[in-house]
């Protein structure tokens, strides 16, 4: 969170690589997928959705980021639906490879289906600053979420490539370099 995954994914997109945004798609599926929505209501109550049937992210966050067991149950509902949606989306793409942007790709087990994983790395204080500016969250709200995400040290062994997004390294050069390596691995 706050590492710059979306920015990096946007650079890959400009190279013609289709990008599946798992976090955005998860929110859409939580609102659109009837069986998933019913399961979420069963788990969290009808307050998980507003009167207009849209997802109440504030309510859900207030419930799950204070209760590890509830968060795990929610993830166990959402991640399989997103994984299936992601596989379907990938099958429709006509490119040499696709990119899946997700904060919990490794943690959810979805990374096992990927050709390779790219870690976008940034120092935690910088990541927190970015999230604070982007979302307007307090430090405690950010830390409530970060404590459920694997650290960069835990993620590194699962990632073939690392992009450093600390404001001193060129993201474009790093993405182009990784893009070329992936193409080489694909024999292109």
Q: Which CATH class is domain 1-18+95-188?
A: alpha beta
Quote the pLDDT of residue 114: 79
Quote the pLDDT of residue 160: 93
Quote the pLDDT of residue 165: 97
Mind listing the pLDDT tens digit of every residue in the chain (188 residues)?
A: 899 999 999 999 999 999 999 999 999 999 999 999 999 999 999 999 999 889 999 999 999 988 999 999 999 999 999 999 999 999 999 999 999 998 777 777 776 677 789 999 999 999 999 999 999 999 998 988 888 888 889 899 989 999 999 999 999 999 999 999 999 999 88
Question: CA-CA distance, 8 to 58, in Å (whole number)?
Answer: 27
Per-position DSSP letters for 106-134, written without gaps between them? TTTTGGGGSS--EEEE--HHHHHHHHHHH
Quote the pLDDT of residue 150: 86
Question: CA-CA distance, 102 to 38, in Å (whole number)?
Answer: 24
Query: For the chain, what are the domain ranges?
Result: 1-18+95-188, 22-92
Quote the pLDDT of residue 111: 67
């Amino acid at each position: 969170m706050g590492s710059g995954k979306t920015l990096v994914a946007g650079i890959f997109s400009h190279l013609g690589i289709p990008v599946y945004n798992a976090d955005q798609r998860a929110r859409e599926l939580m609102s659109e997928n009837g069986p998933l929505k019913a399961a979420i209501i069963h788990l969290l109550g009808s307050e998980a959705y507003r009167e207009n049937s849209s997802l109440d992210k504030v309510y859900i966050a207030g419930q799950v980021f204070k209760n590890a067991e509830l968060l795990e149950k929610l993830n166990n509902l959402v991640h399989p639906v997103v994984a299936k949606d992601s596989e379907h989306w990938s099958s429709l793409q006509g490119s040499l490879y696709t990119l899946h942007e997700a904060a919990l790709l490794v943690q959810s087990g979805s990374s096992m289906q990927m050709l390779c994983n790219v870690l976008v790395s940034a120092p935690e204080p910088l990541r927190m600053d970015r999230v604070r500016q982007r979302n307007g969250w307090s430090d405690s709200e950010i830390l409530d979420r970060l404590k459920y995400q694997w650290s960069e040290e835990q993620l590194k062994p699962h990632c073939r490539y690392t992009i450093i997004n600390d404001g001193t390294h060129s993201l474009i050069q790093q993405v182009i370099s990784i893009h070329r390596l992936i193409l080489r691995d694909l024999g292109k």
